[in-house]
Amino acid sequence: MVAGGAVAARAEQIPVRVVVVTTFEIGKDTGDTPGEFQTWVEKLPLRQELPAPGTWHGVMRYNPDLQVLGIASGEGPEHMASAITALVLDPRFDLRRAYFVLAGIAGIDPNFGSVGGAVWAPRIVNGGLAHAVDAREIPSDWPDGYTPVQGSTPTDSPVPPLHSLSGDMEYTLNPALVAWAYNLTRSVTLPDTPALKAIRARYVGYPQAQKPPAVLLGDTLSSETFWVGARMNRWAERWVGYWTGGKGTFATTAEEDVGLMQALTLQAQAGRVNPDRVLVLRTASNFDMPPPGETAAQLLKSEASEGGYSGYLPAVAAAYQVGSVVVRELALHWDRYGEHTPGTPPAQGR
């Protein structure tokens, strides 16, 4: 009886090749102003609705032909970690060979790129775990008021452990897989609208910000605090450089990525997922600092709502346009990618 029950349980499992991870939906999953989730639901499409117990959104969406599952985690690293843990532990799914593709909007450093662009992340850096000194009390020889939570100065050397009792500061994604995804999509032409042109024209003196939207490679800083301004941007650039030993390049800033990586890394220890099959794509809905002549407070006021970000709709569209190329490639060629992770050499037989 036990063996037969186990066979029946396996037979009832829903096969999943790719999990598309988004972070929010504004209203309904279809037919209204889109959040990150809606474009995938309508265009991939993800027509089949499945209950998602223990998650913020309460439902998942599925494409049985592609065997692609989509979720909306809820905003913030806590919602993300809870949703991913609930998903991985759900007995309906065996995700040991599944790929995870996070596709969401973000702020972008005008020293790196432009609104409307799409950025594949080689690394995720935790921007929310730190010691912080009030701006009015920062020592004059410090670059900013943030120090490692395991240290006492902004530039403590050697750099503390990336993973410790204090928390997780940096995750490096599978370099071969990230490079594969980037090379697959780097030639995708992203829409360039009059509104985007007007936004970036204000960033005089920032040549990267004034370029048209493009697909790029750059690291994501994950912080639950929605920060803005030139000084915070300088901190973000320094923080990414510090925790990556100078190898990283700060590109985008978002909330949930560290929660995704923490949940998947812990579940990988139990053999439930493959941490080498994770991709993070962030598309730029706004700049993280104002243009010359404008204050950080003015920028924050103008973009205080989800739909108010300067490049919001182009960024939502770009997340699907670029991300779906990778998702479809993986799903449609499962005979190639089911056993073999793209970008890595095939295992040699003995």
DSSP symbols for 268-309? HHTTSS-TTSEEEEEEEEEESSPPTT--HHHHHHHT-SGGGS
pLDDT at residue number 301:
84
Rounded Cα–Cα distance for residues 64 and 1 (Å)? 30
pLDDT at residue number 346:
66
Amino acid residing at 141: D
For domain 18-338, give the CATH superfamily.
Nucleoside phosphorylase domain (3.40.50.1580)
pLDDT at residue number 4:
41
- Domain map (residue ranges) of the chain: 18-338
CA 35, chain centre distance (Å): 15
pLDDT under 50 in the chain at which residues?
1-11, 306-307, 348-350
